[in-house]
Structure 1
Amino acid sequence: MSKRAKIILGIVVVLFVIIVIWLKKKNETSIEVFKTETAFKANIVKKTVATGKVIPLEEIEIKPQITGIIDKIYLLEGTKVKKGDLIATVRVVPNEQSLISAKGRVDNVKIRLKNAEIAYKRNKALYDKGVVSAADFEQIELTFDQAKQDLINAENDYKIIKSGSSGSGGFANTDIRAQISGTILEIPVKEGDQVIQSNNFNAGTTIASIADMSKMIFEGKVDESEVSKLVSGTDIQVSLGAIEEKKFPAKLDFIAPKGTEEGGAVQFTIKATITLDDNYFVRANYSANADIVLEKKDSVLSIKEALLRFDKKTEKPYVEVKVGEGQFEKKELELGVSDGVNIQVLSGITADDELKIWNKAKKDDNNNN
């Protein structure tokens, strides 16, 4: 064999080997295989979570009836009290000008009373002799009685300004007493603090706040996109940050008719009455979350949301249904309620359809490309 023939034969052999290797690799290339799953029946519950806190249904602030200085505090925060129990006392520091004015009124009334008494005694003797008529004497007697009452009133005013109480019975203005039965939540003042009574220009100093801790409510906020789906009277579940292992049943009682803007979103206040458990002590202002059912569907045809895709042009949801080996067909769906994991399918597929599970890209695949 000539040298040229050997070269040609070598080239043919090399080409043959290359073709064989190429065909082998081509035959080894397989169609990408996707796993499938079918739709299923499921109970789908759509919920929302409202964040808020637990507060007493009834809470009042005790304010003094007179301006002065806290003289003595008898009870501590957390103490259970009954209506009328003494919490603290206020020592009056009278205004000198008011005190002098009140003392002057007492002295003036005493002068009028002395003159009225002299006139009464003189005319009484004349009336007994028949010199003064009954009508004239009755008028003089009335003036005398009025002067006596005016003195009593002036002296009471003077005592109230000086000591805070007239001592005529009942509770003194200097006594700070519980207005309802409950638990003292807070005493924001100390002995020696100056306090101001409530008036038209000042709300007054709060000496104590009291609440009935056996009646608690949840107060939270929901977004405007969900408030229209809430119904008053709905049963909800309230979980407390401080009591993680327990959920308290509650009933939605109030949905605010007006929202407030917070952080660019409109929020609506809701309130729900909580059913307490005697085994747990719930404190005021515990942070809490309320699970609220917005919509519920029982035993409906459903799929996992991970199977969904959305058309780039129409933005309509669809899945791919298996029609042959390695072959899938696009099916648009009409969807219903979703719980974030599963979603209701109203139309588009049947329970027997095999739905494509979208494979995730791997790093090795990218490196090989």
Structure 2
Amino acid sequence: MKKGFIITVLVVITLGFIWGLWYVFNLDRKDPEIFKTEQPSKKTIVKKTVATGSIVPKEEVLIKPNISGIIDEIFVEAGDVIKSGDLIAKVKVVPNVTSLTSAKNNINSANTQVETARLAFESQKNIYNRQKELFNKGVISANEFDQAQLSYDQAKQRYNQEKVNLTGARQNYDIVKTGTTSGLGASANTEIRATVSGMVLDVPVKTGNQVIEANNFNDGTTIATLADVDKMIFEGKVDESEVGKIKENLPLEITVGAIENKKFDAILDYIAPKGVTENGAIQFEIKGTLSKKDTTFIRAGLSANASIILAKSEDVLSIKEALVNYDSETKKPYVEVEVGDQSFERREVELGLSDGIYVEVISGVSQEDKIKVWNQLKAPSQFGGR
């Protein structure tokens, strides 16, 4: 029993010794580490942040009726380019019974007032004629005659005014009943005309639809939406983590998903002073005015991305960020430059602008230097590497 234990221990020690010799032998034969190198190059480095949004007109004008009724006819459709004053639609008035009755009563009242004023005028006219005859004969004084003439002129003025009021009451009745009256011409309430020049973006109503007039208590029904499509803006939102990096007047590069291989320049001219919560994150609205340098037609509402240019360095010496290491104590950046066959020396570098992939090198290396790539490769084996 004791003899078998000793033999077992000796066998284990022998096998361990043999394994150790094998490990040391293979360690000496381990392939050397080989590092690739890369040289600095001249690049334009742009530091930017991206905002998502859409392209919209700078100003949209909603055309609304100033009288309620039913759309009788529409003269435009979306995509038409029109001028200020062009006819858009006609509205057929459906009179309100209460308003119609009130307008009719006003006519009756005005008729009564006209007749009363006419009688008073005729009476004063007769008195005036008699007083004038007596004055010419020297029977009455000039003061009495002047008083008669004054009363006559006042009665005449009241009569003329009541006739004007009657005309106004009749016109009001016509407007309530039909939406227009004689003498209005192009100002007829039933004719809906463009208030600005531009493109028709939308006509949300159809012939036969009922519309409501715009007033102090109601926004009214939109008959058409107009905009100047030559003045478009980017409207989007940025996260609160990015809003502190941007400011007004920064350049934007706009890319529109529906327009391939095109970039549009813009200027950031608005950053919302207050953020809003969307999906648990605070978002700030931004706007940028597009500077259209070509004739590409951009449709309103197209989704777009805006690259906000925070900083830009053109044609500068740069290397990949992955080539840079940082000293564990001083935190200063450095690279390793090849000085011989797979022999490298450490050099501290001064870095500038970075876009996350490439970084500007201000000093420390030249364009001819070969910089170590930290991911090493194994040298190919004499008998075929794995």
Retained in 2: the 8 A contact 1:259–1:269? no
Cα–Cα, structure 1 residues 361 and 159, in superposed 2: closer, same or farther, change >3 Å?
farther
The match for 1:342 is: 358
CA drift at 1:58: 3.1
2:172 aligns to what SS in structure 1? helix
Letter in 2 for 1:47: K
Retained in 1: the 8 A contact 2:264–2:290? no
Residues 310-353 of structure 1 deviation map (CA, whole Å, 9 limit, x = unaligned): 68x88957556368987878877764321121113467x54487
The match for 1:93 is: 94
Cα distance in 1, alignment partners of residues 284 and 251 from structure 2: 21
5+ long unaligned stretches in structure 1: 1-10, 363-369
CA drift at 1:200: 1.9
The match for 2:291 is: 274
CA drift at 1:20: 7.6
Cα distance in 2, alignment partners of residues 44 and 231 from structure 1: 20
Retained in 2: the 8 A contact 1:224–1:268? no
TM-score in terms of structure 2 length: 0.77
CA drift at 1:18: 8.0
Matched, 1:248 2:249: no
Once the two structures are aligned, what percentage of the paired residues are identical?
A: 45
Cα–Cα, structure 1 residues 135 and 333, in superposed 2: closer, same or farther, change >3 Å?
same
Retained in 2: the 8 A contact 1:223–1:268? no
CA drift at 1:291: 2.8
CA drift at 1:261: 3.4
Give the alignment of 1:6-21 within 5 angstroms. Answer: none
Cα RMSD (Å) of the superposition? 3.4
Letter in 1 for 2:191: D
Cα–Cα, structure 1 residues 296 and 125, in superposed 2: closer, same or farther, change >3 Å?
same
Matched, 1:175 2:191: yes
Select which of 196, 200, 204 maps to 1:184. Answer: 200
2:167 aligns to what SS in structure 1? helix
Matched, 1:193 2:187: no
The match for 2:26 is: 25
Letter in 1 for 2:318: S
Q: How many residues align?
A: 347
**Structure 1, 320-329 or 126-135: larger mean CA deviation:** 320-329
Cα distance in 2, alignment partners of residues 138 and 201 from structure 1: 45
Cα distance in 1, alignment partners of residues 219 and 303 from structure 2: 28
Cα distance in 1, alignment partners of residues 119 and 259 from structure 2: 79
Cα–Cα, structure 1 residues 156 and 361, in superposed 2: closer, same or farther, change >3 Å?
farther
Retained in 1: the 8 A contact 2:235–2:285? no
Matched, 1:260 2:276: yes
**Structure 1, 98-107 or 160-169: larger mean CA deviation:** 160-169
Cα–Cα, structure 1 residues 243 and 315, in superposed 2: closer, same or farther, change >3 Å?
farther
Retained in 2: the 8 A contact 1:235–1:252? yes
CA drift at 1:31: 3.8
Cα–Cα, structure 1 residues 332 and 178, in superposed 2: closer, same or farther, change >3 Å?
same
Give the alignment of 1:6-155 within 5 angstroms. Answer: 24-37=25-38, 39-130=40-131, 133-155=148-170
CA drift at 1:179: 1.1
Cα distance in 1, alignment partners of residues 305 and 87 from structure 2: 37
Give the alignment of 1:218-257 within 5 angstroms. Answer: 218-257=234-273
Cα distance in 2, alignment partners of residues 143 and 108 from structure 1: 15
Retained in 1: the 8 A contact 2:90–2:191? yes
Cα–Cα, structure 1 residues 338 and 155, in superposed 2: closer, same or farther, change >3 Å?
same
The match for 1:367 is: none
Retained in 1: the 8 A contact 2:201–2:225? yes
5+ long unaligned stretches in structure 2: 1-10, 133-144, 379-386
Residues 197-227 of structure 1 deviation map (CA, whole Å, 9 limit, x = unaligned): 1122211110111112222222223334444
The match for 1:366 is: none
Letter in 2 for 1:96: V
